[in-house]
Amino acid sequence: MNIDQVVQNGVNDIDVHLLTHLSKISAALAVAGEDDSVNFLVLSINDAEVKPLFSHKVPNVHFSSVQRLKFVSTDNQLLAISVATDQRVVLWRLAIHQSHMDVIKNYGTFNTIISDPSDMFLIKNTSEDSCCGVVVGIGLELFEFSKTLL
């Protein structure tokens, strides 16, 4: 299977989230690009093949290379968080339906103090309905998105 133009340049990160609410077995992919873009894809999975159902590419969402893009699942929605070398962390909300996907970009954004962010780790806090994480690069910073954003 070949999916053209997922990103224009290199792929820096991919995250996968299995979807259980669609009629067929499916997976959501989040792709972070060297070209400052992110791309969200939904794939149908069965015994014989994996095929793309639809995708939503958001070009130039950051001002530099997107280093990490991770999914965070809540009870009723799918979120993603991206970090780039522009020192911005962006929260995305995705609504995946049978025939299409709605992506709300820049649902929340903050600047990190970390120079050259290279990785990110996320923890979904179910008791308080919040998400916290760590951005690392030249240093380490903890962050939290409150339940008002989730």
Model confidence at 82: pLDDT above 80? yes
What is the pTM (predicted TM-score) of this model?
0.83
Tens of pLDDT, residue by residue over 10-32, are: 888 999 998 876 667 888 889 99
Contacts of 97 (CB under 8 A, 6+ apart): none
How far separated are the first and last CA of the chain, in Å rounded?
A: 34
By CB atoms closer than 10 A (0-12, 13-18, 19+), residue 55 is middle
Q: So what's the pLDDT on residue 113?
A: 93
